[in-house]
Amino acid sequence: MVERLRAQGIRDERVLDAMLRVPRQHFIDAALAYNAYDDTPLPIGFQQTISQPYVVARMIELLRAGRELGRALEVGAGCGYQAAVLSHLATEVFGIERIRGLFEQAKENLRPFRYPNVRLKHGDGSQGLPQAAPFDTIIVAAGAREVPLALRDQLAPGGRMMIPVGAGGEQQLVMTERVGDVFRESRHEAVRFVPLLSGLE
């Protein structure tokens, strides 16, 4: 998988090393283990998916460019896979998941690894995690119609957020960087994510 990511253009060796360290098959149903390292999203229940490896690596690589991830918020923790990857790159990882069943699944998946810097919370990720803000990095694993102000405002000075933005199935990765009180946006490749929803399940 890592060699394929390298061939696909991922250049950040620390990102590649983090991807190598986390066994993706541990985070999916045993029946899908044969496909664990395919470059494709896979179902994890509750009508949600684990993102394809390239998209995970690409989002993190863009966020890391020229800086450390520091304190990171992951919106849409899902099965816990991306939080595990982030644990090797960020000083602290706060994962938030709105679906109770997935939150419990992520906790169970992450337990054997005993990552000391990962914390999971069952909550409404569209509102971020104000009690732990500000964050140096915010990574959102669901698509929004526009950049949510509640999340943007939880960025620390110099912080970056990556989120899929778009409507009608047409989404692009959008990075928002906070420079003082100014927010700069840049657009990157097209992606397809489940929608960012509010509330709890």
pLDDT band at residue 170 under the 50/70/90 scheme: confident
In a domain, 137, yes or no: yes
Range of the domain at 24: 2-191
Sign of the CA dihedral with 100 first, then 165, 167, and 171 last: negative
Can you read off the two tokens belonging to residue 84? 């595990």
d(CA 181, CA 107): 36
Please state the rounded mean pLDDT for residues 123-139.
97
pLDDT band at residue 188 under the 50/70/90 scheme: very high
- Residue 70's CATH number: 3.40.50.150
Please state the rounded mean pLDDT for residues 44-62.
96
For the chain, percent of residues with pLDDT exceeding 70: 100
Can you read off the two tokens belonging to residue 35? 């496909």
pLDDT tens by residue, 56-95? 999 999 999 989 999 999 999 999 999 999 999 999 999 9
Is the confidence at residue 199, as pLDDT, over 80?
yes
Q: What is the 3-state secondary structure (H, E, C) of the chain?
A: CHHHHHHCCCCCHHHHHHHHHCCHHHHCCHHHHHHCCCCCCEEEECCEEECCHHHHHHHHHHHHCCCCCCEEEEECCCCCHHHHHHHCCCCEEEEEECCHHHHHHHHHHHHHHCCCCEEEEECCHHHCCHHHCCEEEEEECCEECCCCHHHHCCEEEEEEEEEEEEECCEEEEEEEEEECCEEEEEEEEEECCCECCCCCC
Active site residue 51: yes
Mean pLDDT of the chain: 96
pLDDT band at residue 129 under the 50/70/90 scheme: very high
Q: Which of 51, 87, 126, 198 is catalytic?
A: 51
For the chain, percent of residues with pLDDT exceeding 90: 97
In a domain, 10, yes or no: yes
In a domain, 62, yes or no: yes
In a domain, 125, yes or no: yes
In a domain, 200, yes or no: no
In a domain, 112, yes or no: yes
* Domain count within the chain: 1
Amino acid found at 36: A
In a domain, 123, yes or no: yes
Q: Angle formed by the axes of helices 13-21 and 53-64, to 10°?
A: 140
d(CA 39, CA 112): 25
In a domain, 196, yes or no: no
Per-residue model confidence (pLDDT) at position 96: 98
Per-residue model confidence (pLDDT) at position 16: 98
pTM for the full model? 0.96
Per-residue model confidence (pLDDT) at position 200: 95
Is the confidence at residue 168, as pLDDT, over 90?
no
Give backbone dihedrals phi and psi of 122, rounded to 5 degrees, phi first.
-85, 115
